[in-house]
Amino acid sequence: MTSRSSHGNCGFGSTLCMQGQGVVKGYAIGRAAIMSAAALEVVHYRIAEQDVEAECERLKKALATASGELQAMAVSLPDDAPRELGPLLTVHSLLLDDAALLQETCDLIINRHYNAEWALTTQGQLLAEQFSVMEDEYLRERGADIRQVIERVLRVLSGSTALLPSLEAGDAGDSLIVVARDISPADMLKLRGARFAAFLTDLGGPTSHTAIVARSMNVPAVVGLGHIRMLVRDGDILIADGFTGAVLVNPSELVLQEYRQRQAAYAGDRAELALLRDAPAVTLDGIQIKLEANIELPEEAVAALQAGADGIGLFRSEFLFMGRRDLPSEEEQYQAYASVVRTMAGRPVTIRTLDLGADKTLDGDVTVATNPALGLRAIRYCLANPELFATQLRALLRASLHGHVRILIPMISHMHEVRATKQAIEAACESLEASGVPFARNISLGAMVEIPAMAIAIEPFADALDFLSIGTNDLIQYTLAIDRGDSEVADLYDPMHPAVLRLIAHTINSAERAGIPVAVCGEIAGDSRVTRMLLGLGLTEFSMHPQQMLDVKKEVRLAHSNALRVKVASALNRAERIDLAALSN
């Protein structure tokens, strides 16, 4: 992976400026608190033959202690801990319990007479290198998990537990900015007791845990800074810009003033946006817009509700199936779906059936399709695995007793897939009935529009289904023949391409004619820069990450929907690119 990190003066005179990737928006000004990194201070020495066994035992104990600590943390999380932490801590403790890690590290102690710390860092480097050459960005970043758990064991071996020695030394009242090589989920848990102004790390990318957890804590974060931990000292004054990824070290008073102003203006904007939480999402010409939330785990329903969501527009159920060695049972799935339905208290909850394949696979699934994005994924996978599909459908039907559940089928391209899904639902109803298990009948069935073939020939689908949801992430990928995960062609991934917009417009118009609701649940629904364009296409239902909802609502309330429809239709008729600036009032 190429590194984007650099350092220089960034146009701020003599101020040292480092460039990373801003992964959580916001500005922070504070003093650096450098996090200890046991891996950087490892001692290397040789073990005498007669001490080899004892050294292996020392390693074994340290692995068990570190794993035990992680498990204990996972089961006693405070109520307000970020929801991602539990699963992440469990994954980390499983990594440490892996018999191969102990065995292969002991082999280094036995064969090369390395001390435990040296053997462990050597083994860790080997594993991290194996991850670093993986094609998938998500998997590549999982090498960070290995480094983080090894760091934890090294701390146990050294007997040191303090993460931030400067914390105690800092002047009371100063905001502290954590500067680290990397921050593991367990470290995040330890750090969250105190309020930090920002997190800055040498390593990591947008899907690293530091980014995920910082996002859920709403703390600005810049990752992938390269060598900030080496270049900055405890107590240095830092400015972190979570928008641009710039970090300024010991800036002048003038630069500090500039950033204090930006910080205040941003805080003002956020406070103003917060006032919109209970305001209706209605355009200037009185069109009521539905704003719903995309979630991946049941716990996120609370954030959706807090953001004022009208419902759940997309629950990506596959996340219940990933990162584990077994399949979730019907009862486990039922509990998960029912908890979301109860939280949403009567609002619609749209649960997408398993969308596995392409970039999302079951653990231990080693089948590699020739082209996973075009292979046995999503509904194709479910219809090919009827038992697994039936289990999910039964859980969904049972959960619908508690409120308003809608079933959403991903990756439909043929009408016979709709018919087969209906038959599978009917069979699930019969099997529940036969065993006397209560469930609700007449559940709404909808499909994701993410394959161009379906969008072009949408009419029979709109007649056969109760609702549609346009998955623009995949629709763009398949329309433009651009792998959405391939950074080499990322510049060609263009949501504004007239062909993409025509497919969206055609789908919306056909749904309107068939009298069924249609939403957009791909990433563009949460991008407030294109809200007006989507309104202009006639969209009235948007589903997005809860954090994006207020920005989109603000745009909705400033827009004149019918005027936008005229402008957008005339550009689309000519297959012209839409000029977003021309859509503002």
Residues designated catalytic: 209, 521
Q: What does DSSP assign to residue 163?
A: S
Residue 515: how many other CB atoms lie within 10 Å: 8
* Residues across the chain: 585
Q: Which is nearer to Mg ion, 316 or 347 (CB)?
A: 316
Residue 120 interacts, among Mg ion, ligand PEP, none and using kind-specific CB cut-offs from 5 to 8 Å, with none
Give Cα 66 to chain centroid, integer Å: 27
> How far apart are CB 297 and Mg ion at their closest, in Å?
18
CB 409 within 8 A of CB 447: yes
In the set 124, 185, 313, 471, which binds Mg ion (CB under 5 A)? 471
User: Measuring CA to CA, which residue among 448, 334, 462 is closest to residue 394?
Assistant: 334
Regarding 26 and contact with Mg ion (CB under 5 A), the answer is no
Q: Which is nearer to ligand PEP, 174 or 494 (CB)?
A: 494
In the set 84, 182, 202, 474, which binds Mg ion (CB under 5 A)? 474
Window 379 to 408, contacts with ligand PEP (CB under 6 A): none
Rounded CA-CA distance 576/580 in Å is: 12
> How far apart are CB 16 and ligand PEP at their closest, in Å?
39
Q: Which is nearer to ligand PEP, 63 or 503 (CB)?
A: 503
User: Measuring CA to CA, which residue among 463, 351, 456 is closest to residue 407?
Assistant: 351
Q: Which is nearer to ligand PEP, 125 or 473 (CB)?
A: 473
Regarding 355 and contact with ligand PEP (CB under 6 A), the answer is yes
Type of residue numbered 434 = A
Residue 298 interacts, among Mg ion, ligand PEP, none and using kind-specific CB cut-offs from 5 to 8 Å, with none
Regarding 546 and contact with ligand PEP (CB under 6 A), the answer is no
In the set 226, 452, 522, 546, which binds ligand PEP (CB under 6 A)? 522
User: Tokens 């043929």, residue?
Assistant: 414
Residue 69 interacts, among ligand PEP, Mg ion, none and using kind-specific CB cut-offs from 5 to 8 Å, with none
Looking at beta carbons, which residue is closest to Mg ion?
474
Q: Which is nearer to ligand PEP, 353 or 421 (CB)?
A: 353
User: Measuring CA to CA, which residue among 174, 184, 94 is closest to residue 145?
Assistant: 184
Regarding 473 and contact with ligand PEP (CB under 6 A), the answer is yes
Q: Which of these segments, 181-189, 281-289, 459-467, 469-477, binds ligand PEP (CB under 6 A)?
A: 469-477
> How far apart are CB 552 and ligand PEP at their closest, in Å?
16
Exposed, middle or buried, 562 (CB in 10 Å: 0-12/13-18/19+)? middle
Structure tokens at 232: 């900055």
> How far apart are CB 381 and ligand PEP at their closest, in Å?
13
Q: Which of these segments, 43-51, 268-276, 472-480, 529-537, binds ligand PEP (CB under 6 A)?
A: 472-480
In the set 245, 311, 471, 538, which binds ligand PEP (CB under 6 A)? 471
DSSP 195-225: PPSEEEESS--TTSHHHHHHHHHT--EEE--
> How far apart are CB 541 and Mg ion at their closest, in Å?
17
Regarding 521 and contact with ligand PEP (CB under 6 A), the answer is yes
Q: Which of these segments, 226-234, 262-270, 465-473, 568-576, binds ligand PEP (CB under 6 A)?
A: 465-473
Rounded CA-CA distance 270/427 in Å is: 49
Cα angle value 438/439/445 (rounded, 5°): 170
> How far apart are CB 473 and ligand PEP at their closest, in Å?
3
Structure tokens at 443: 């559940």
In the set 117, 202, 450, 551, which binds ligand PEP (CB under 6 A)? 450
Could you tell me how many residues of this chain bind ligand PEP (CB under 6 A)?
10
Non-local CB neighbours of 417 within 8 Å, separated by 6+ positions: 379, 380, 383, 409
- What residues are paired with 350 via a beta bridge? 406
User: Tokens 């991850």, residue?
Assistant: 131
Sketch the per residue contact string, 479 through 518, with ligand PEP: x for CB under 6 A, - otherwise.
----------------------------------------
> How far apart are CB 529 and Mg ion at their closest, in Å?
21
Q: Which is nearer to Mg ion, 201 or 472 (CB)?
A: 472
Residue 406 interacts, among ligand PEP, Mg ion, none and using kind-specific CB cut-offs from 5 to 8 Å, with none
CB 223 within 8 A of CB 203: yes
Q: Which is nearer to ligand PEP, 62 or 521 (CB)?
A: 521
For residues 206-236, one letter each, b for 16 or more C-beta atoms within 10 angstroms of the residue's C-beta and e for the rest, the string is: eebbbbbbbbbbebbbbbbbbebbebbebbb
User: Tokens 């892996």, residue?
Assistant: 98
Q: Which is nearer to ligand PEP, 245 or 311 (CB)?
A: 311
Give Cα 352 to chain centroid, integer Å: 17
> How far apart are CB 520 and ligand PEP at their closest, in Å?
8
Provide the 3-class DSSP secondary structure of residue 516. Answer: coil
Q: What does DSSP assign to residue 455?
A: H
Regarding 474 and contact with ligand PEP (CB under 6 A), the answer is yes
For residues 254-282, one letter each, b for 16 or more C-beta atoms within 10 angstroms of the residue's C-beta and e for the rest, the string is: ebbeebeeebeebeeeeeeeeebeeeebe
Non-local CB neighbours of 315 within 8 Å, separated by 6+ positions: 294, 295, 296, 337, 340, 349, 350, 351, 352
Q: Which is nearer to Mg ion, 231 or 373 (CB)?
A: 373
Q: Which is nearer to Mg ion, 310 or 523 (CB)?
A: 523
> How far apart are CB 534 and ligand PEP at their closest, in Å?
13
Residue 472 interacts, among ligand PEP, Mg ion, none and using kind-specific CB cut-offs from 5 to 8 Å, with ligand PEP
Structure tokens at 580: 């977003």
Provide the 3-class DSSP secondary structure of residue 21. Answer: strand
Sketch the per residue contact string, 303 through 342, with ligand PEP: x for CB under 6 A, - otherwise.
-----------x-x--------------------------
> How far apart are CB 314 and ligand PEP at their closest, in Å?
6
Structure tokens at 317: 């159920």
Contact residues toward ligand PEP (CB under 6 A) are 314, 316, 355, 450, 471-474, 521-522
Contact residues toward Mg ion (CB under 5 A) are 450, 471, 474
